Amino acid sequence: MTDHHLDDYRPIVGDQVIDELHVLADHVRHRRLQHINSTSVGGGVAEILTRMVPLLRDLGIDTTWDVIKGNQAFFAVTKAFHNALHGGKESITEEMLDVFRETTAMNLADLNDYGDVVIVHDPQPAGLIAKRPEVGGRWIWRCHIDVATPDPRVWNFLQKYVEGYDASMFSMPDFAQRLSIPQYMVPPSIDPLSDKNRDLTNDEVQAVVARYGLDPERPIVTQISRFDRLKDPLGVLAAYRLIRRRHDCQLLLAGGGATDDPEGEEVLNEVREAAGNDPDIHVLELPPFSDLDINALVRASTIVMQKSIKEGFGLTVTEALWKRKAVIGGAVGGIRLQLLDGVTGFLVHSPEGAANRAIDLLNDPELRQAVGDAGREHVRENFLTTRHMRDYLLLMLAMEHQGEELSVLTTR
Residue 315 makes contact with ligand UDP by CB under 6 A: yes
- Cα 158 to chain centroid distance, Å, stands at 21
User: Cβ 29 to ligand UDP, closest distance in Å?
Assistant: 29
Residue 191 makes contact with ligand UDP by CB under 6 A: no
Residue 260 makes contact with ligand UDP by CB under 6 A: no
Residue 224 makes contact with ligand UDP by CB under 6 A: yes
Distances (CA, A) of 322 to 286, 299, 317: 21, 10, 9
Contact 103, 74 (CB under 8 A): yes
Residue 175 makes contact with ligand UDP by CB under 6 A: no
User: Cβ 62 to ligand UDP, closest distance in Å?
Assistant: 26
Question: Of 221, 177, 196, 191, which is closest to residue 351 (Cα–Cα)?
Answer: 221
Residue 172 makes contact with ligand UDP by CB under 6 A: no
Contact 48, 388 (CB under 8 A): yes
Residue 125 makes contact with ligand UDP by CB under 6 A: no
Site for ligand UDP (CB under 6 A): which residue of 79, 226, 282, 387?
A: 226
Q: Indicate the residue among 116 and 319 with the shorter CB distance to ligand UDP.
A: 319
Residues 283-302 touching ligand UDP, rule: CB under 6 A, are 286, 290, 294
Site for ligand UDP (CB under 6 A): which residue of 9, 81, 313, 383?
A: 313
Interatomic CA distance for residues 383 and 172, integer angstroms: 12
Contact 67, 40 (CB under 8 A): yes
Site for ligand UDP (CB under 6 A): which residue of 44, 54, 125, 333?
A: 44
Residue 255 makes contact with ligand UDP by CB under 6 A: yes
Contacts 24+ apart (CB under 8 A), 109-116: 110/69, 111/36, 111/66, 111/68, 113/64, 113/66, 114/34, 115/31, 115/32, 115/33, 115/34, 115/62, 115/63, 115/64, 116/31, 116/32, 116/33
User: Alpha helix (H) ranges present in 288-411?
Assistant: 291-300, 315-322, 335-338, 351-362, 365-382, 385-400
Residue 47 makes contact with ligand UDP by CB under 6 A: yes
Site for ligand UDP (CB under 6 A): which residue of 316, 338, 356, 385?
A: 316
Interatomic CA distance for residues 189 and 101, integer angstroms: 31
- Number of residues located near ligand UDP, criterion CB under 6 A: 17
Residue 323 makes contact with ligand UDP by CB under 6 A: no
User: Cβ 180 to ligand UDP, closest distance in Å?
Assistant: 28
Residue 209 makes contact with ligand UDP by CB under 6 A: no
User: Cβ 198 to ligand UDP, closest distance in Å?
Assistant: 13
Residue 233 makes contact with ligand UDP by CB under 6 A: no
Interatomic CA distance for residues 324 and 321, integer angstroms: 5
Interatomic CA distance for residues 166 and 183, integer angstroms: 9
CB-based closest residue to ligand UDP: 44
CA atoms within 13 A on the CB side of 157: 20
Q: Indicate the residue among 37 and 302 with the shorter CB distance to ligand UDP.
A: 37
Residue 264 makes contact with ligand UDP by CB under 6 A: no
Tell me which residues touch ligand UDP (CB under 6 A). Answer: 43-44, 47, 196, 224-226, 255-256, 286, 290, 294, 313-316, 319
